[in-house]
Amino acid sequence: MRGFLNWDQCPSTRESVCDKFARLLSYRDDVTRRLKHPSSKECAKSVSDWRRKLRGSDFHSGIVAVTSLAMIIVALCTLVPVAVDVARASAGSTASGLTSGSGLDLHSISGDRYGVRTSIHVLTFSGPQYSLEVGLANHGVDGGLETPSTMCRSTPGCVAAVNGDFFDVTRQGRFDPGDEVGGVIQNCVLLHTPEIAHQQANLEGQSVNEGLNWSSSIDVNGVNVPITAVNQELPMRYLNVNLPLAGTLLFTSPFALRTPTAAGRLTYEFIEVNGTASPTTINTTAELELVATTTTPVRVTSGHVDVSAPAGSTLATLQVGDTVTLTTTSTAGCNNIGGHPILLNDGVVVPIDPSDTYMAKRYARTVIGWTGSGTTVIIMVAGRDAQSGATGYQLVRLLRSLKVVTALNLDGGNSTALYAAGRIYFHAGRVERPVSTGLLVVRNP
């Protein structure tokens, strides 16, 4: 509706037209609030109501308004979860009331003063009642693609979700199985190491870093063998990146694909000995026993660790039944997710590279940040690729107006989606886009 009649620019000479349009917007918002789980009778009554309210309308965009409102009501009556674009507040912020009293607040704000003409949604919480977790598509690394709302509904205690990190595109017009670009630490387990230089957010430490701090190595009879990557789909070819199958690569059971193979390489299959924690739990050591070697791709089964290495590596000295130790360390916290770029770091604005066209143009955006007092802030900006939404510079101004001091930009564009209280409040595309990772708000026990 905004594309046909811009309420912010209503001229005084057409005050009656603008008044009617404002009342229509108000009634639309009332409809979206009342029809959370509508019955067929409620749907029919809503259709009858908007016909009566618009009867006699004399402004030229009435047809557009009728059509738009009808589409909203039809969506409310047919979609599960319900898709709603929360109305943009005329000034300041207005609480949606959907999470009133729960400690989780969802509201919309106006970005007019910053040149942002699309809706902006802000989800906040503070205190111990809620925490942030990383969601994985189908609960696996490279486990395919899944919508944030589905990730949330399959995660115990999850009350809200947004899209997470960027993921690979390996072929023209086709997504790969969901290979994350950045690192992933979930519940203190290192699940994925960054593919390329990539910024990260420590969700518990409320901090951001230029990369993921991690180290993993295998002790083979006193010889230390460093791990090059954990649960990365290699070789990878995307966006002018071509990384060959090289180094010592480690795979654990959350890796949903088969282990990669190449000429001159072996895959060493280990089983964890008397292990109670995941073998790549950070700041721990796991004992592993070699059970087999293979040159064919295999799936990593539960309790196993598979290592792909050159045939002449130190691992080649092992015999079936020999044991090694795997040590994984990190100071990145127990839940860590990637993004790009860092916008604010402890109150300091991080300069945006002028050549970064993705940040220079307007896009739908998802941002995770924190205020100086420790409040978690998730911002969603509506938009269309390279046409509407917010630039990186506008994002920084919005964040500072909300007292955010540390923030990381997550994946955006058509991946942008917000799910809360059992409803979808915004998605950038015509439907909620499946992604590889999500950022989940979970109620603590």
Q: Residue 174: pLDDT band by 50, 70, 90 thresholds?
A: low
Last residue of a domain, one of 329, 360, 383: 329
Q: What is the pLDDT at residue 429?
A: 84
Q: In this structure, are residues 208 and 342 in contact, taking their beta carbons and an 8 Å threshold?
A: yes
Q: Are residues 245 and 298 in the same domain?
A: yes
Q: How many domains does the chain have?
A: 3
Of the residues 24, 50, 78, which one is the last residue of a structural domain? Answer: 78
176 vs 73: which has the higher pLDDT: 176
pLDDT confidence of residue 170: 56
Does residue 1 belong to any structural domain of this protein? no
Q: What is the 3-state secondary structure (H, E, C) of the chain?
A: CCCCCCHHHCCHHHHHHHHHHHHHHHHHHHHHHHCCCCCHHHHHHHHHHHHHHHCCCCCCCHHHHHHHHHHHHHHHHHCCCCECCCCCCCCCEEECCCCCCCCEEEEEEEEHHHCEEEEEEEEEECCCCEEEEEEEHHHCECCCCECHHHHHHCCCCEEEEEECCCEEEEECCEEEEEEECCCEEECCEEEECCCCCCEEEECCCCEEECCCCCEEEEEECCEEEECCEECCCCCEEECCEEECCCCCEEEECCECCECCCCCCEEEEEEEECCCCCCCCECCEEEEEEEEEEECCCCECCCCEEEEEEECCCHHHHCCCCCEEEEEEECCCCCCEEEECCEEEECCEECCCCCCCHHHHCCECEEEEEEECCCCEEEEEECCECCCECECHHHHHHHHHHCCEEEEEECCCHHHCEEEECCEEEEECCCCCCCECEEEEEEECC
pLDDT at residue 128, as a whole number: 93
Q: Contact 141/231 with Cβ under 8 angstroms?
A: yes
Q: Are residues 293 and 399 in the same domain?
A: no
Same domain, 409 and 302: no
Q: Is 87 inside a domain boundary?
A: no
The pLDDT score that the predictor gives to residue 291 is 98
Among 78, 101, 126, identify where a domain stops.
78
Q: Is residue 88 part of a domain?
A: no
Residue 150 lies in a domain: yes
What is the per-residue pLDDT for 341?
97
Asked if residue 28 has pLDDT above 90, the reply is no
Q: Is residue 84 part of a domain?
A: no
Co-location of 112 and 160 in the same domain: yes
Domain check: are 204 and 230 in the same one? no
What is the structure's pLDDT at 20?
A: 38
Residues 354 and 422 in one domain: yes
pTM (predicted TM-score): 0.78
Region of poorest pLDDT, from 8-17, 222-231, 328-337, 375-384: 8-17
Q: Which has the minimum average pLDDT: 10-24, 131-145, 154-168?
A: 10-24
What's the whole-number mean pLDDT along residues 231-257?
Answer: 82
The answer to whether residue 182 sits within a structural domain is: yes
**Which one, of 402, 424, 434, lies nearest residue 111 by Cα?**
402
Mark whether 191 and 115 lie in a shared domain: yes
What is the model's pLDDT at position 204? 96
Provide the domain limits for residue 20. 7-78
Structural domain contains residue 430: yes
83 within a domain of the structure (yes/no): no
Q: Specify whether 204 is located in the same domain as 220.
A: no
List, for residues 252-262, the tens digit of each pLDDT value.
Answer: 999 999 998 88
- 249-252 sheet: strands from edge to edge: 223-226, 215-220, 323-329, 284-294, 265-272, 304-310, 249-252, 229-230
Lowest mean pLDDT among 83-87, 120-124, 206-210, 402-406: 83-87
pLDDT at 52 over 70: no
Give the pLDDT score at 236.
63
Is the domain of 296 the same as that of 389? no
Q: How far apart are the C-alpha atoms of 293 and 315, rounded to whole Å? A: 10
Q: What pLDDT is attached to residue 185?
A: 98
On whether both 265 and 204 belong to a single domain, the answer is no
Task: Please give the pLDDT value at position 421.
Answer: 87
What is the average pLDDT across 363-367? 97
**Mean pLDDT value across the chain:** 81
Q: CB burial class (10 A; 0-12, 13-18, 19+) of residue 365?
A: buried
Same domain, 205 and 343: yes
Q: What is the mean pLDDT of residues 65-94?
A: 39
CA distance 438 to 417: 10
- Do 193 and 272 belong together in one domain? no
Query: Under a CB-based contact definition with an 8 Å cutoff, are residues 108 and 96 in contact?
Result: yes
pLDDT at residue 238 in the model: 59
Phi, psi of 148 (to 5 degrees): -55, -35
